[in-house]
């Protein structure tokens, strides 16, 4: 049993130039925290230039207050995986919640998710329901693995034509009821609660990824180790998706075009890395090259959209 005062949960938030969103996220965390909840809150700043560090120190830096945040200051942007791994070094609890700074906690989403995870020793990681600001489900919190077929069906539009088909909708897993709890292949890094022992078995975040795809790799590795990934929609958070990268229509702030282009490159690179790690050797050479060609084509298409001033849905 944990000693009195020892955290039962460590919350790791990786921040990059989203000061106002970060402060709103932290406020929602402490508002949802009960008097008996023992949480450690860690903010890792990836070299922000918008005053994020100073704002956190001013509001949450006093050791004498219950609104205490442990702050890690990186001198540069290490990327999502490496940045979160820096946060893990300060973790004191047996369960970790990796939480995006562009999120708002609703109700008791954190504590209830923790209770569900602890209720089943086979659950390695869990996500609650993640909603976009307009109320739509953020599909990233409830999806399948991006096998070549799942990816083709998704990007070709077949999954939208047949959203209830396990054959065509494997990427978004829309054939499963998003209002019911169940096991799932993959959840989002925007709200990813994991047992520390499970994370240690896979070495936590794979630093081959800089931005995007790390959560898929994380879940894939956990399932290889025999852990369950669980989706729990009885509670939820709101996600202003894409606020650091500026790639999404749900972004809550404007981001420079150069930043968006770099983010798009890293996002597509993540697809290439995951494919080569897990699927490349399973297919004949001609098929391998066809998939890599498709990924390259997608990169050009996304960059074209950015240059045209468009964002992802």
173 in a domain, yes or no? no
Domain match, 284 and 216 both: no
Domain housing 294:
245-313
Domain match, 133 and 261 both: no
Domain match, 213 and 303 both: no
192 in a domain, yes or no? yes
pLDDT at 130: 98
Selection from 15, 30, 32 nearest residue 112 by Cα: 32
**Listed residues 221, 241, 261: the one ending a domain:** 241
pLDDT at 263: 78
Instruction: Identify whether the C-beta of residue 70 lies closer than 8 Å to the C-beta of residue 33.
Output: no
Q: Strand, coil or helix: what is 126?
A: strand
Domain match, 186 and 277 both: no
Question: And the tokens for 110?
Answer: 């954190």
Domain match, 227 and 286 both: no
Cα 146 from Cα 80, distance rounded (Å): 20
pLDDT at 2: 40
pLDDT at 1: 35
Cα 85 from Cα 206, distance rounded (Å): 9
Domain match, 195 and 77 both: yes
72 in a domain, yes or no? yes
Question: And the tokens for 36?
Answer: 């008996």
Domain match, 109 and 130 both: yes
156 in a domain, yes or no? no
Q: Looking at residue 96, which CATH number applies to its domain?
A: 3.90.550.10
Q: Which 8-state DSSP code applies to residue 184?
A: -
Cα 94 from Cα 198, distance rounded (Å): 10
The dihedral of CA 282, 285, 286, 291: what is its sign? positive
**Listed residues 241, 256, 283: the one ending a domain:** 241
Domain match, 232 and 251 both: no
Domain match, 48 and 109 both: yes
**Listed residues 199, 220, 241: the one ending a domain:** 241
282 in a domain, yes or no? yes
pLDDT at 3: 41
Instruction: Identify whether the C-beta of residue 71 lies closer than 8 Å to the C-beta of residue 57.
Output: yes
Domain match, 113 and 217 both: yes
234 in a domain, yes or no? yes
133 in a domain, yes or no? yes
Cα 72 from Cα 46, distance rounded (Å): 9
pLDDT at 82: 97
171 in a domain, yes or no? no
CB atoms within 10 A of CB 46: 23
Tally of domains in the chain:
2
Domain match, 273 and 299 both: yes
pLDDT in tens, the chain (313 residues): 344 578 999 999 999 999 999 999 999 999 999 988 999 999 999 999 999 999 999 999 877 667 799 999 999 999 999 999 999 999 999 999 999 999 999 999 999 999 999 999 999 999 999 999 999 999 999 999 999 999 999 989 999 999 999 999 999 999 999 999 999 999 999 999 999 999 999 999 999 999 889 999 999 999 999 999 999 999 999 999 987 666 666 676 676 788 778 878 888 889 999 999 999 988 888 888 888 888 888 888 888 887 887 766 5
Domain match, 197 and 48 both: yes
């Amino acid at each position: 049993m944990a000693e009195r005062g020892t955290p039962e949960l460590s919350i790791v938030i990786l921040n990059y130039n989203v000061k106002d969103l970060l402060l709103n996220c932290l406020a929602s965390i402490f508002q949802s925290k009960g008097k008996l909840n023992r949480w450690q809150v860690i903010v890792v700043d990836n070299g922000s230039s918008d005053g994020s560090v100073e704002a956190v120190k001013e509001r949450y830096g006093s050791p004498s207050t219950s609104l205490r945040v442990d702050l890690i200051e990186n001198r540069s942007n290490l990327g999502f995986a490496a940045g979160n791994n820096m946060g893990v070094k300060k973790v004191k609890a047996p369960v970790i919640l990796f939480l995006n700074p562009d999120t708002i906690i609703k109700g008791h989403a954190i504590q209830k998710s923790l209770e569900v995870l602890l209720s089943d020793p086979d659950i390695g990681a869990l996500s609650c329901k993640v909603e976009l600001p307009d109320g739509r489900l953020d599909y990233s919190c409830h999806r399948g693995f991006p096998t070549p077929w799942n990816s083709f069906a998704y990007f070709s539009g077949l999954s939208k034509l047949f959203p209830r088909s396990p054959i065509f909708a494997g990427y978004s897993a829309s054939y499963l009821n998003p209002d019911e709890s169940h096991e799932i292949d993959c959840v989002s890094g925007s709200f990813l609660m994991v047992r520390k022992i499970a994370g240690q078995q896979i070495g936590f975040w794979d630093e081959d990824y800089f931005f995007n795809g790390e959560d898929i790799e994380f879940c894939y590795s956990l399932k290889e180790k025999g852990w369950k990934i669980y989706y729990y929609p009885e509670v939820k958070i709101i996600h202003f998706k894409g606020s650091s990268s500026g790639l999404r229509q749900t972004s809550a702030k404007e981001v420079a075009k150069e930043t968006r282009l770099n983010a798009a490159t890293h996002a597509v690179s993540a697809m290439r890395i995951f494919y080569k790690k897990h699927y490349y050797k399973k297919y004949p050479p001609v098929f391998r090259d066809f998939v890599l060609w498709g990924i390259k084509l997608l990169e050009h298409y996304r960059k074209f959209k950015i240059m045209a001033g468009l964002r992802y849905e």
